Structure 1
Amino acid sequence: MPLLLIDFPSFNPIAVAIGPFAIRWYALAYIGGIVIGWLYARSLLKNERLWGGPAPMSLVQIDDFILWVTLGIILGGRTGYVLFYNLPFFISNPAAIFKLWEGGMSFHGGFLGCVVAVMWFAYRNGISILSLGDITTAVAPIGLLLGRIANFINGELWGRATDASLPWAMIFPHDPSHLPRHPSQLYEAGMEGILLFTALAVMVRFGALKRPGMILGAFILLYGLTRIAGEHFREPDEQLGFLWGGLTMGMLLSIPMLIVGGILIVWAVRRGSPKPTEAIR
């Protein structure tokens, strides 16, 4: 057992409780990610230098879009978890699908929900699908960071067992094996949150928003890479385990992202910056 084994901090998953009313850290992570992301998106839209002229959408439109993307995240995330991670259980217990407070959300499902929200909102409002996708994915790592921290606070989605060579290994209180494990939630917070946000922010500052689809493609590609890397340290879901060739469901769902992200980046580079009056849909 590691000599410097770290005890898992005793976190209360409930952040605020007033009588029977309780707000969990996980819910606050979603709320905080959406609110902070919305404020960051507004700041990007106000900076015409980043777009090479007026932004392709108004502040009022991005304000309206928040409700759409929130519904996309929640409905898509839950649907993805049901379909990708625990379908037999939910077929036998359909009422459990609506018990969101018990947990169970899928990033890949939430991402597809966001794609639907972006495409539908952009079409209805006559704005660029790719540019709306760029602004949405530029702020997405904020929510990913807070969500992974909430996973850590809840003591869920822990990492694979490790040996004495890892001094920061942890024993998670809900783990029946009581083995020292990687705190993979923190690894993912660092890669999917901090690293991804930094990479996209640098690209934004160097003019990537002038090429619609560039940030969207970079997010999809880089998230796929960081998720696959993180899955090497994360314990697979108990009901799924390892799949083909030792791959996990998270890896399999991320592989298509590498292809799609790469295609979008190449397409954005070849297309170049649009004319001010050109709409991209």
Structure 2
Amino acid sequence: MPFPDIDPVAFAIGPFAVRWYALAYLFGVLLGAGYGYLLLRNERLWHRGAPPFPAKDVWDFAFWAMLAIVVGGRAFYVLFYNLPYYSQNPLEIFNTLDGGMSYHGGMAGLMLAAILFTRSRGGNWLSSLDLLGAVATIGIFLGRLANFINAELYGAPTDAPWGVVFPTDPLQVARHPSQLYEAVLEGLVLFLVIRIATHVLYALRKPGLVAGIFAIGYALARILVEFVRLPDIQLGYLYGGWLTMGQVLSLPILLGGLILVIHAASRRENPLRP
């Protein structure tokens, strides 16, 4: 398949260019906050009818979230993906225009921001992580679509009929559109799974359960897709040539998700009780 002719720049105002990648972050936070508002307002979904903080406060948290995603995403990329380069060029750490961001870092920053924000409101911090788990798939979906538009983070060569020839590929061969795989698995499918958990199984009534489901689902999807996605060129494959940094960073998330699910499932209250 030929790569669709989509300009990475969504629009320009004079010398200022606004890219789809930046819009994906912006709308991911705004749409996530909007969906979070609806969840927070529906008190019957939550443990003892108490969401982690009032629905109106979600817009304040959206500001925290945007900062946390950028700082956490950049910090993880610098530390885990290209530390030698940034050690020699420390000022480049602040040059986020080079696109160096880590989803794992953004997730870590969001978790920390949610915990601190919720504690300042006197709410249950585990429930705030559940809220993140319920809305984060929206941002992931948009972000991976933006990766596809940027023709970055593509996969290994493939003979599959849906293989894409990316304009940034020096070899110009058909490759797995791994960005779209992740958009579907980590974004759309995981959103639907969590939606069933929150509105059919009332999983938000067991603090930590939705966060655990998200962590397990994200980690498994990321680990799976990494088998057909090319690793960052400066890192290559790790540990004998079969693991990627994305898979390594997903393992603690998988473990944390299992711990959260086990903890939540051990609670004696029945989440299905009205």
TM range (shorter): over 0.9
**Aligned counterpart, 1:60:** 56
Structure 2 gap ranges (5+):
none
Structure 2 counterpart of 1:248, one-letter code = T
Structure 2 counterpart of 1:270, one-letter code = S
Could you say if the C-alpha distance between residues 22 and 272 of structure 1 is closer, same or farther in structure 2, counting changes exceeding 3 Å?
A: farther
Structure 1 counterpart of 2:183, one-letter code = A
Give the whole-Å Cα distance in 1 for the aligned partners of 2:2 and 2:238. 31
List per-residue Cα deviations over 1:19-75 (Å, max 9, x = no partner): 111110000000111111011001111212312524342123222211112111110
Is the partner of 1:244 in helix, strand or coil? coil
The answer to whether 1:216 aligns with 2:211 is yes
Structure 2 counterpart of 1:130, one-letter code = L
Is the partner of 2:152 in helix, strand or coil? coil
Structure 2 counterpart of 1:96, one-letter code = E
Higher mean Cα deviation, 116-125 or 198-207?
A: 116-125
The answer to whether 1:200 aligns with 2:202 is no
Structure 1 consecutive aligned stretches of length 4 or more whose deviation exceeds 3 Å: 272-275
RMSD (Å) for aligned C-alpha atoms: 1.5
Matches within 5 A, 1:125-164: 125-163=121-159
Quote the offset at 1:187 in angstroms.
Answer: 0.5
Could you say if the C-alpha distance between residues 24 and 84 of structure 1 is closer, same or farther in structure 2, counting changes exceeding 3 Å?
A: same
Structure 1 contact 134–214 (Cα < 8 Å) conserved: yes
**Aligned counterpart, 2:7:** 12
Structure 1 gap ranges (5+):
1-5, 276-281
Structure 2 counterpart of 1:214, one-letter code = L
Could you say if the C-alpha distance between residues 56 and 80 of structure 1 is closer, same or farther in structure 2, counting changes exceeding 3 Å?
A: closer
Is the partner of 1:12 in helix, strand or coil? coil
1:43 to 33, 38, 42: 38
List per-residue Cα deviations over 1:225-257 (Å, max 9, x = no partner): 000011011111111111014100001111111
2:181 to 157, 166, 187: 187
Structure 2 contact 52–125 (Cα < 8 Å) conserved: no
Structure 2 counterpart of 1:234, one-letter code = R
Give the TM-score normalised by the residue count of structure 1: 0.92
Structure 1 contact 50–209 (Cα < 8 Å) conserved: yes
Structure 2 contact 140–187 (Cα < 8 Å) conserved: yes
2:93 to 77, 92, 97: 97
Give the whole-Å Cα distance in 1 for the aligned partners of 2:270 and 2:36. 21
**Aligned counterpart, 1:78:** 74
Quote the offset at 1:272 in angstroms.
Answer: 4.1
Structure 1 counterpart of 2:132, one-letter code = T
Structure 1 contact 212–273 (Cα < 8 Å) conserved: no
List per-residue Cα deviations over 1:114-157 (Å, max 9, x = no partner): 12112211222211100111111210000000000000000000
Quote the offset at 1:273 in angstroms.
Answer: 4.1
Give the whole-Å Cα distance in 2 for the aligned partners of 1:272 and 1:79. 39
Q: What is the aligned length? A: 268
Give the TM-score normalised by the residue count of structure 2: 0.94
Quote the offset at 1:15 in angstroms.
Answer: 0.3
